[in-house]
């Protein structure tokens, strides 16, 4: 028998007919970095082409994302040093920048799905995701604050809270506090398999949130492990997570595939700051075609099982899809 596999690759039309993985604008979650002030637009030095915006410009950006067909934003705030402490005081401030940003975006683009980062690092004088005691990042007191932080985001109008801290038991605590306060339509997107990764470096520049001592290896996962990702993810789902996440993306596509096969909730991937920076740097040197690298990367993440992709390339990807 003669079998000619290349028949299915003869022309763009045939290739389009048999393509298994098709990106859509609604696959993407656009992360946004919000900073205080008005008409402020600051390029992040290690993330060329990506900006911190004041709330007015963040709202303008959200409108543009919506017009492109992107349905979701994931909010991060850069808190001034003056409000940072070791208790997460500012994280639960009803008039904090995060809470104002949620209200502002929901007012301007009511149908946009607003997701919020829940972790203490932007508010921590130590740059850690939790409360610090000596050299330890203490679990249970942190979970208590993360739950109150989630409630305050829900009260401001967030559609999903996205705990990125990797403390134990936080999904259940968040689900409970939301239920007890009548927020039975607020979702939880859990960063379930979040690895201690060097690829978060540029993000920490964006928020000025690098840990002041040590690293995050006592709470984020060891990249040597994959079975642990299953344990973490299944527990988050049991505790009430609506969407689970694998993070970073490109070096963890094996994890994505395992999690997709072992779960029945939507799975998101986070194509993180360092992954963005690598493509940008190579493209700036003329070593890679940026547009092709974006589409190939995003398609590979979806092919590995991601239903949703948080990425700093969201807008670029959608523009390329529409081109």
**Numbered residues of the known binding site:** 232
How far apart are CB 197 and ligand PBG at their closest, in Å? 8
In the list 164, 192, 233, 297, the residue contacting ligand PBG (rule: CB under 6 A) is 164
How far apart are CB 295 and ligand PBG at their closest, in Å? 19
- Report the site for ligand PBG in 11-40 (rule: CB under 6 A): none
Helix (H, G, I), strand (E, B) or coil at 34: strand
Toward ligand PBG, which CB reaches closer, 63 or 169? 169
Structure tokens at 60: 């303008």
The reply on whether position 121 binds ligand PBG by CB under 6 A is: yes
Distance between the two ends of the chain, CA-based, in angstroms?
A: 41
- Report the site for ligand PBG in 200-219 (rule: CB under 6 A): 200, 203-204, 216
DSSP H or E segment with residue 29: strand 28-35
Toward ligand PBG, which CB reaches closer, 62 or 277? 277
What are the DSSP calls for 40-102, one per residue? -EEE-TTSTT-EEEEHHHHHHHHHHHHHHT--EEEEEE---GGG-BSS-TGGG-TTSHHHHHH
For residue 122, give the DSSP letter. G
Q: Which of 165, 86, 170, 92 is nearest to 133 (CA)?
A: 86
Toward ligand PBG, which CB reaches closer, 15 or 131? 131
Toward ligand PBG, which CB reaches closer, 183 or 276? 276
In the list 117, 159, 232, 239, the residue contacting ligand PBG (rule: CB under 6 A) is 117
Structure tokens at 75: 């909010």
Q: Alpha-carbon distance 16 to 304, whole Å?
A: 19
- Give the residue numbers marked as catalytic: 194, 247
* Sign of the torsion formed by the C-alpha atoms of 152, 156, 161 and 165: negative
List residues forming the annotated binding site for Mg(2+). Answer: 232
How far apart are CB 93 and ligand PBG at their closest, in Å? 18
State the residue number with the nearest CB to ligand PBG: 203
Is there a contact between 92 and 148 (Cβ–Cβ < 8 Å)?
A: yes
Toward ligand PBG, which CB reaches closer, 22 or 211? 211
Q: Which of 186, 175, 185, 183 is nearest to 237 (CA)?
A: 175
Q: Which residues contact 54 (CB under 8 A, 6 or more apart)?
A: 34, 35, 36, 37, 38, 39, 40, 41
Site string (230-269) toward ligand PBG, x via CB under 6 A: ----------------------------------------
The reply on whether position 272 binds ligand PBG by CB under 6 A is: yes
The reply on whether position 159 binds ligand PBG by CB under 6 A is: no
What is the number of alpha carbons within 13 Å of residue 74 lying toward its C-beta?
A: 25
Q: Which of 80, 81, 70, 68 is nearest to 31 (CA)?
A: 70
How many residues in the shown chain lie near ligand PBG by CB under 6 A?
12
Widest distance between CA atoms in the chain: 74
Toward ligand PBG, which CB reaches closer, 31 or 305? 31
- Report the site for ligand PBG in 53-112 (rule: CB under 6 A): none
Site string (184-203) toward ligand PBG, x via CB under 6 A: ----------------x--x
Which residues of the shown chain bind ligand PBG in the complex (CB under 6 A)? 117, 119, 121, 129, 164-165, 200, 203-204, 216, 272-273
């Amino acid at each position: 028998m003669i079998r000619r596999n290349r028949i299915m690759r003869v022309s763009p039309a045939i290739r389009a007919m048999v393509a298994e993985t098709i990106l859509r604008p609604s696959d993407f979650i656009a992360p946004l970095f919000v900073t205080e002030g008005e008409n402020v637009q600051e390029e992040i030095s290690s993330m060329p082409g990506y900006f911190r915006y004041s709330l007015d410009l963040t709202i303008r950006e959200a409108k543009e994302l919506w017009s492109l067909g992107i349905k979701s934003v994931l909010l991060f705030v850069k808190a001034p040093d003056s409000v940072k402490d070791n208790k997460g005081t500012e994280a639960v401030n009803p008039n904090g920048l995060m809470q104002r940003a949620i209200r502002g975006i929901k007012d301007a683009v009511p149908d946009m799905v607003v997701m919020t980062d829940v972790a203490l690092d932007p508010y921590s004088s130590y740059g850690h995701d939790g409360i610090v005691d000596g050299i330890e990042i203490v679990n249970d007191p942190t979970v208590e604050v993360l739950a109150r932080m989630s409630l305050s985001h829900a009260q401001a109008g967030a559609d999903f809270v996205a705990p990125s801290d990797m403390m134990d038991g936080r999904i259940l605590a968040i689900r409970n506090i939301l239920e007890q306060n009548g927020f039975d339509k607020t979702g939880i997107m859990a960063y379930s398999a979040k690895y201690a990764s060097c690829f978060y470096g540029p993000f920490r520049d964006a928020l000025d949130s690098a840990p002041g001592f040590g690293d995050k290896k006592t709470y984020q996962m060891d990249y040597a492990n994959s079975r642990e990702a299953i344990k973490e993810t299944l527990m988050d789902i049991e505790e009430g997570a609506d969407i689970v996440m694998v993070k970073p993306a490109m070096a963890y596509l094996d994890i994505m595939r395992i999690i997709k096969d072992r779960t029945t909730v939507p799975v998101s991937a986070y194509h993180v700051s360092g992954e963005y920076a690598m493509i940008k740097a190579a493209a700036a040197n003329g070593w890679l075609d940026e547009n092709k690298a974006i589409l190939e990367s995003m398609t590979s993440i979806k092919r590995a099982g991601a239903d949703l992709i948080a990425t700093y390339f969201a807008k670029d990807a959608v523009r390329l899809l529409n081109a």
